[in-house]
Amino acid sequence: MTLATILFGFSLAGIFRSLVVEPASLVWPGVLGNTALNHTLHSRKNTLDLDTKFKMSRYQFFMIVFCGSFCWYWFPDFIFPALGYFTFICWAAPNNAVVNQIFGMKSGLGILPVTFDWSQIAYIGSPLVVPTWAILNVLASLIFWIYAVSPAIYYSNTWFSAYLPIQSDSVYDNTGAVYNVSRVIDKNLGFSFNSTKFDEYSEIYLPFTYALNTFGLSFATISSLFIWLYLERRHSIIAIFQASSLSSLFKHGPIPSWNLQPAYKTVPACVLANIWFFNVGYISGIKGLAFAQDLKLGLYCNIPPRKLFLVQAVGIFMGTLGQVSTLNWALEHIPHICTDVAPNGFACPFSRTHFNTSMVWGALGPRRFFAPGAHYRQLLWMFLLGALLPIAVRALKKTLATG
């Protein structure tokens, strides 16, 4: 299944290469750092362009930075982990719940996030290669939704959120304990959902930041993306599509929509079916973007396409076998892995969020969460908010440009 998911993403990168890789106008900021590194290591120019007497080869400079980074990494990750989460305010009041909720890094909102760990700084992308406007957008969204809206909703006890941690990747039952999924799932029936056991046990309660990030802001992102593409990029997308080889495919008759209907549906009340759908629909797309990014890197670095394809293909098989083997070893040998008490941070936040989200969409079904009268139905308004925000930003840009 892992190999099939990755190969499907690999094929998507090849199919849409003419749309997202070959156009010179489509710049991938995430590739520029690796492009500069490859140019530095393979350039025939031996010295740095400095107007001082200090002279050093590019390779020597890279090795000094590399060795320094390697040595420093041991301090925040192993020797003194507090350097990674430098929450000095929480040190002053370790028993104050409100202070830890506001300033804590692991289970709080992380206001005043001070860290000396580069892996924490570049967690969602290196700030050295991400455009400034993108960083400012993320910062503004963080301040508004996490630092302003989240505390207001949490301390007003909306959706019973005050009984739960203010920030967590777990879901909870009506006693405030972590939800015991095994009590509502029949393992003998393919991990299917048992509504009788669910009624006897408890509904699922989500921490507000979990509900906001996983559902609310995701809903807003979907609608805002399509509206923004139409307002800002429709002409360039049409031009690129018309210039690509894919445009000739639509000269033929379309396939009836009913032929594709089974591919658009998931099996309700089945967690495994939803996880498979997630792998094919989302993970394959993410892998496809990663492979397309490699193709763009090859274009920037003038790497022959066939040699790049060979390296990618071999890397897929070797990487898949290595990752699956390492994962199986970790699951068997690391105590309490994928739990909050796992050593060295092996808490598996993405995997736990993935499984908990599959519980919502696959096991319980979205009706229990978003139907009339459900606790989290108000999150559906985020679709409308996400659609309106690009229109407001577009109008503001036109007003400022005119002024």
For residue 36, being part of any structural domain is answered with: yes
With respect to residue 92, please indicate whether it lies within any of the assigned structural domains: yes
Structural domain harbouring 34: 23-130
* CA distances to 33, 100, 131, 218, 307 from 127, in Å: 11, 27, 8, 23, 31
Is residue 346, in this structure, part of any structural domain at all? no
Q: Which two tokens stand for residue 152?
A: 């207001």
Domain annotation covers residue 55: yes
Report how far residue 189's alpha carbon sits from residue 276's, in angstroms, rounded to the nearest whole number: 16
In a domain, 102, yes or no: yes
What span, in angstroms and rounded, lies between the C-alpha atoms of 291 and 319?
Answer: 13
Taking only the tens of pLDDT, the chain with its 403 residues reads 788 888 888 888 888 888 888 888 788 877 888 888 888 777 766 555 555 556 777 778 888 989 999 999 999 888 888 888 888 888 888 889 999 999 988 788 988 888 898 888 888 778 888 888 888 888 999 999 999 999 999 999 989 999 999 988 888 999 989 888 888 887 777 677 788 888 899 888 999 998 998 899 999 999 999 999 999 888 877 777 776 655 555 555 555 555 555 554 555 556 677 777 777 878 888 888 888 998 999 888 888 888 988 998 898 889 888 988 998 998 888 888 888 778 777 888 777 877 777 777 777 778 888 888 888 899 999 999 999 999 998 998 888 877 6
Number of domains in the chain: 1
Structural domain includes residue 53: yes
* 48 within a domain of the structure (yes/no): yes
User: In this structure, is residue 284 part of a structural domain?
Assistant: no
Q: Is the pTM of this model over 0.85?
A: no
